[in-house]
Each structure stands twice: as C-alpha cells, then as structure tokens.
Chains A and B, each alone.
Chain A
C-alpha cells in the first residue's frame, strides 16, 4: 500500500488545474459559482472549449479521440473543473459514448460518435416509465417489429433535458418471454421522429429539467438497435457501470461546500450573530470532514477493478454522495435565513425574468435545497442502494 500520489499524478493535477482555470469563461464561472441554474448555451460553449483542447470526452479511449486518461486522472480533471467554476459535464457523454464504442456497429459508431464531443448531438436517456421506477425491468414501452422497422408505443418519464436533446437512447420491451430483463432492447431514436411528444415537468424548485416523453406509433429503423434485440439489459448494465464514479457527486458537493463557505463569510460580514454563525459553521465543518472521507472512498473505488471484492461498492459512493448533497443543500437553505421566504419558483421556471429581491446568492441557496431533494431518488434510490450494499456485504462477511 502506498498512500501518496505519484510524481506523475501530482504533475498531472497541477497541469490540469492550471489549464482548466485558464479555459473557463468569466461569465460562465460567475453563474456556476453562484449556483445559477445552468442554461443550454453555457454547456455548449464550455463543451466546445474542451473539445478544442481535446478534453471533451474524458472517459473515451484515445482511439475514439478521448484523452486516454486513467480513472484517477478523470477524477482530477473533474476536480479541476469544479475548482475553476466550470459547468458539470453532461453525464451522457460518458455514458452513450462508451456504450456505442463497446457495443455499436461500425455504422452506428460512424454516425453517432462524432456529434457527441461538441454536444452537436444532445442525447437523453429514456429509461424510467410511470409504472417502472425502481423496478425498471418491468418497463412496458413496446416496440413491435414491422419489416425493417420497429413501431414504438409507450411513455418515458423523468427524462432529463429531453427538450434540449435531438437523440434519445431508450429501453423498450420487445418480448414478454422469460424474465422481464430478457425482453428488453436498447434502441436509439431521433427526437424529431413523428409520434414523439415531450412535455415539461417542473421540479420543486420551479425549474424545468425533466420531462415526460410520449411515444405514439414511432417508427424506428431496425438498424438502431444496439447489440441485439432482447439484449438491452446487458447494455443498460454496462452504461450504469460507466457512471460508477460520477455517481459520487464529488464535484457537486465540493461546489456547494465552497459556496457555503463563502456564504458563511458573507453572513458574518453582514452582521449575523456570532452564535448563529458558530452553529452554521460547526455543521459545515462536519460536512467538510465527511466529504474528505468520501473523497478517499472514491480513490479506493477507482483504484480497484470493478469486480474487486475488497473495494467499496459504487452504491456506498452513491449513498455517501447523496447524504452530503442532502445535508449541504439543507444547510444552504438554513443559511439563507428569512430571505429564503422570497424565493420565487415561478421565476426559476422561466416565467418572467424577475430579479430576486434579496439577491441571487440567497435565492440560489434556497433553490438548491429544493433541487437536491432529488439526490436520494436519481440514479437508483437510497433504498435500492441499501439493498445492493446488503447483498454484497453478506457475501463478503456472511457465513459461506
């Protein structure tokens, strides 16, 4: 065991921090650091900058134009982005990209991969359905083969950025035989195909990020199947593994922590009582301590191979990450004090362009609490993660 970074790792960290810091446009940095709700434009601009530098697709291998970074280098890159005030990367870049590289046909790779690094092609993920959340394998959106095409009917929900996307990767049911997992197919479709309707869902904070996607007699060419008919669950599991480290939410937690630290200083400067500040800062420090341990858990996960039984499971990363995001966002909401009363959910939903009466910082602190109530639900609920942790843990510690 060697608990120190190698000289190469240190050199990479210093290089990446300096370079990324120099790349982030000042206006984007200001919005990101004040926790302003991101707009599509900001993502596109930042992604174009990264693309020009060759860093648009951190998880892609060199042969596909990726930087060929190790898992640790990817984490250091993510950290550098956070420190520099860059927007977070659209997770789908590192999900659909590796999926196509691993399972795609030559034609699929040629057609779909080039549009991903610049976000010229924006992908959304059609997984959950109204009746299939935690029990994803029960999904019912049906694809029926008709000549060289599928006719797809059904409904997807919680589809992040479907309104910005021009492509969707989708799980559909192609068979009712055998276990539910055995009748699922991974299908690619263009969002402007006739029969696809996107309806917005506004979240607790008023923002519009997720959608319902209705599919009515949508014709999808058979060649848009990834891997093979009824093999979609294998693809989905691979994709889930690809977001194994992103699930830790480390960059987001650090961003909120930095914001909270600055806000505490601001409250002190504006005359909030030392007594109240002591309480807020004590909570902040406890989170800071837990976040350090979380960071090292992430290091242990990325240093191990995915099936190494000695490494902490990705579910532990997810749970600790959720816990930190929930606590940090709740603390921010408490820090915003009475000013949080004036948070206007309609303004965040884009209806009207109202200036928050007590400033963006306090406003966004409150918004963040409402926004991060999703932490324990997205990417596998807390309850499902605990089931997985138990299952792995009895295998490791239980009687054999």
Chain B
C-alpha cells in the first residue's frame, strides 16, 4: 500500500483543481434550468477535452484507462470547488454500466462517445422519493407488435437535466428488473428539471411507450451489474464529500484564527479547539473509509464490496454532517447565512447524504451483508 500520489496523479489533481476553480466563477448567476444546463454541457465538453470524461474507459475503447483510485482524487478536487458537472454519473457510473453490458451494439457505440463527452448518460433507477429503493420498481418494458416499449416515471434522476441518454431500470414482461438504454430525445421521453438544495439541477423523467432495444444485461445478472456500477458512484460521492470536508475545515480554521471575541482569537478557547479537533478526527475517518471502499470495488466478491461500500457511505454521511454542523457552530451567525460560502458546502453535503442511500439505508445494507 502506498498513499502518496504519483506524479501523474498529482498532475491530474492539479488540472482538475484549476479547471474547477475557473468553472466556479462561471457558474455564478445562472438561475433558470436552460441556462444552467447549457453551462454544464459546455464545461463538460471542456472536461472531456482534459480526458476526464473517459478517465475510467480502457484505452482500447478510446479512454484514458485510469482507475478508481484516480477517479476518487478527481471527485475530491471537484467537491472542494462544488463542481456541478456530471462527472460521477457520466464518467463513473455510466461507463461501468455500459462496459458490463452484453448489448454489444450499445457497448461499441457508447464508450467512445462517453469519453468524448458527447454522451452524458444518467442512471434513471429510483421511483420512490421517500427512501432509496431499487426494488420498488414499476417502470416496465412490454413487447407489442415485435417492438419493445418502455413506460414509467423516474424521480430525482441525478444529472438527469443535462443527460443525453438514460440507463433506465425497468421490469421486463416477466417482472424481472433489467436496464434499458434510451436517448433523451426519443419520442415519449419527457424531462422536467428540478432545482436542488444546492442550486443544481436534477430531473423527473417520464417514459411513455418509448421504443427501446433489448436489455443491457442477462436477466439473472442485471441487478448485480447495476448494483456494482452504482457502488462505484457511491464511493465517488464519498470522495466528493472529502473535498467538501476539506474546504469546510479550511474555512473554519481560518475563522478560528481571525475572529476576535473577548480580546483574542476565538481559536484560543479550548472548547472551540476541541470541537475542531473532533471534526478533524471525523474527517480522517471519512477519508479512511472512502479508501477502504474504493479498494473493495476491485474485489470480485460482491458481498464484501457491498459491505465495505455501505460502511463507507453511512460513515461519510454521518461524519460529513457532523463536520459541517461543527463548522456552522464554530462560525456562529455568519455560518447560518446563505451568503457565506459555507452554506453551499452544507447543502451539498446534504445532497450527497440523500443520493443513492443515506446512513440509515446503508447501515441496513451493511447489516444484511454481515448476516
């Protein structure tokens, strides 16, 4: 094991940080969905030119051929500048889904397009808005006159507002869940953008008798393949949290050192030092758990992988929230204002908590995996 960055990784992080910092400035001010999505798409194209869209795709398929260890560094850097570009869905979850697909036509046509940034694929799985649940699916694909047609509604599709394609979780004629590939501009697809907590955009996507080709996976492996791809996305969310946490700690440390009350810097009060120390401990635990889960992604054992990923997501959600709450408390009044930078980190941390399962969901999956 070696936790030092290679020169290549250092260069990668440097590139992403520079890009994300310049993008942050350009994101400000976009308020309606169309403007925001146009901005996202433009920046995603630039990120693709930097090689980020094809980061995980094999060189043989037109990608860069890097690993999840590299991807989590990218996520951390993106988190640090609150990037809203669809890296996690389009460059991590989507290639993982497509690479494993047995639909060779989709596989061959898609991977290069993902790498170029022209295909931005979102995963349209969840239907419940009350809990993360991939089992409660009513979307279905039925054959009529020899044509497969997909109908159903998917809520809160992450990066759905800017997606060119969807991988849709739906039941086949025998009620077996599988994934289907659909272009966003296909007749019968309608995308309703929804503004999120952090001022980003996700979408409600409905499919009405949309013509689709065959499923992406063999029936008996479909759920396992989808879970595996999503686990990559979940680890990526954990890594993004590390970036949020870094920034929250930096803001807080700066405030403790400069804010004066009772004639001295508030950081000189032991109670505040100790609260900050707790945050730092939690941050290191979150980082360790994220590394642990990233390592498990390349293990063949699905039970082990799910256990480690769920452990990490639940821990990162719990600690991430505690750290952001601590950052608010140590900032005092300024910490609860919309205007101060910290507010956006607080909201993005909540979004991550609510994406693809929160601490409660993942503690439950963890428990199921150690039975």
Residues on A lying within 8 angstroms of B by beta carbon are: 128, 131-135, 138, 157-158, 201-204, 206, 267, 270-273, 275-276, 279-280, 326, 330, 333-334, 337-346, 349, 357-358, 362, 366, 369-370, 373-374, 376-377, 381-383, 386-387
Cβ-defined partner of B338 (8 Å) among A138, A203, A366, A387: A203
In the bound complex, residues from chain B placing their C-beta under 8 Å from that of A370 are 346-347
**Contact residues in A for B260 (Cβ distance below 8 Å):** 131
Query: Which one of B128, B199, B269, B325 contacts A338 once the chains associate, using CB atoms below 8 Å?
Result: B128
Do A386 and B354 touch (CB < 8 A)? Answer: no
Residue B360 CB within 8 A of the other chain:
yes
Extra contacts, 18 of them, besides A279-B364, A341-B202, A344-B195 (Cβ < 8 A), are: A131-B260, A133-B333, A138-B263, A201-B338, A272-B130, A334-B358, A338-B354, A338-B355, A339-B130, A340-B354, A341-B194, A342-B196, A362-B130, A366-B350, A373-B335, A376-B329, A382-B329, A383-B271
Q: List 26 A-B contacts (CB under 8 A).
A: A135-B261, A157-B333, A203-B338, A204-B328, A204-B337, A270-B130, A273-B131, A273-B133, A279-B360, A330-B321, A334-B360, A337-B354, A338-B132, A340-B350, A342-B196, A342-B197, A343-B197, A345-B197, A345-B338, A345-B347, A362-B130, A373-B325, A373-B335, A382-B329, A383-B272, A387-B271
Which of A132, A202, A279, A383 has the most chain B CB atoms closer than 10 A to its own CB? A383
Do residues A138 and B261 form an inter-chain contact, with CB atoms below 8 A? Answer: yes
Q: How far is the CB of A269 from chain B (nearest CB, A)?
A: 10
With a cutoff of 8 Å between Cβ atoms, the chain B residues found around residue A373 in the complex are 325, 328, 335-336, 346
Q: Does B211 contact A (CB under 8 A)?
A: no
| A358 to B126 Cα, complex, angstroms | 14
With A357-B204, A386-B271 in contact, do A134 and B332 touch (Cβ < 8 Å)?
A: yes
A198 to nearest B CB, angstroms? 16
Q: Is the CB of A338 within 8 A of B271?
A: no
CA of A333 to CA of B358, assembled, Å: 11
Q: Is the CB of B196 within 8 A of A341?
A: yes
* Dominant SS among interface residues on chain B: mixed
Instruction: Return A33 CB to nearest CB of chain B, in Å.
Output: 20
In the complex the two chains form, what is the Cα distance from A146 to B336 in whole Å?
Answer: 38
B contact set with A: CB distance below 8 Å: 31, 126, 128-133, 136, 155-156, 194-197, 199, 202, 204, 260-263, 269, 271-272, 321, 325, 328-329, 332-333, 335-339, 343, 346-347, 350-351, 354-355, 358-361, 363-364
- Chain A: which residue is nearest B271 at the CB level? A383
Chain B residue numbers with a CB within 8 Å of A386 are 271
Cross-chain contact B261 with A342 (CB below 8 angstroms): no
How far apart are the CA atoms of A340 and B196 in the complex, in Å?
A: 8
Which of A128, A271, A362 contacts B333 (CB under 8 A)?
Answer: A128
* Chain A positions within 8 Å of B269 at CB level: 383
The 9 residue pairs across chains A and B that have the minimum distance between CB atoms: A202-B338, A339-B129, A135-B261, A337-B130, A135-B262, A344-B195, A383-B271, A337-B131, A343-B197
B263: A residues at CB distance < 8 A: 135, 138
Report A-chain residues with C-beta under 8 Å of the C-beta of B350.
333, 340, 366, 369
The total of Cβ contacts below 8 Å across the A-B interface reads 142
Task: List B contacts of A333 (CB < 8 A).
Answer: 350
Q: Which of B128, B202, B269, B339 has the most CB of A within 10 A?
A: B128
Tell which of B128, B272, B321, B351 touches A341, judged by Cβ atoms closer than 8 Å. B351
Q: Are B195 and A202 in contact (CB under 8 A)?
A: no
**CB proximity of B279 to chain A, nearest CB, Å:** 15
Residue of A334, A338, A377 near B129 (CB, 8 A) is A338
Given the complex, which residues of B lie within 8 Å of A267, measured CB to CB?
130-131
Contact B156 A341 (CB under 8 A): yes
Contact A338 B130 (CB under 8 A): yes
Given A206-B338, A340-B354, A341-B156, also A357-B361 (CB < 8 A): no
- Least CB distance, A86 to chain B, in whole angstroms: 26
Are B129 and A362 touching (Cβ within 8 A)? yes
Closest to B330 in A: A383
Chain B residues, CB < 8 A from A326: 325
Question: Would you call B131 and A202 a contact (CB within 8 A)?
Answer: no
List of B residues within 8 angstroms of A276 by Cβ? 131, 360-361, 364
CB distance from A352 to the nearest CB of B (A): 10
Inter-chain CA distance A246–B198, complex, in Å, is: 33
Contact assessment for A338 and B339 in the assembled complex, using a CB-CB cutoff below 8 Å: no
Give the docked Cα–Cα distance between A91 and B273 (Å). 33
Distance (Å) between the CB of A157 and the closest chain B CB?
A: 7
Provide the bound-state CA to CA distance between A334 and B351, in Å.
Answer: 11
Most interface-central of A134, A273, A382 (chain B CB within 10 A): A273
Residues of A within 8 A of B332 (CB): 133-134, 377, 381
Evaluate contact between B197 and A366: CB separation under 8 angstroms. Answer: yes
Whole-angstrom distance between the Cβ of A175 and the nearest chain B Cβ? 19
- Residues in B whose Cβ lies below 8 Å from that of A330: 321
> In whole Å, how far is A318's beta carbon from the nearest beta carbon of chain B?
14
Q: A341-B156, A341-B197, A383-B271 are in contact. Are A272 and B131 (CB under 8 A)?
A: yes
* Cβ of A258 to closest chain B Cβ, rounded Å: 20
The residues of A that contact B132 with a CB separation of less than 8 Å are 337-338
B355: chain A residues at CB < 8 Å are 338, 341
Q: Report Cα–Cα, A138/B260, bound state, in Å.
A: 11
What A residues does B204 contact at CB under 8 A?
A: 357
Contact B195 A342 (CB under 8 A): yes
CB closest chain-A residue, reference B363: A279
**Nearest B residue to A344 by beta-carbon distance?**
B195
Instruction: Give which listed residue, B343, B347, B360, contacts A280 with CB less than 8 A.
Output: B360
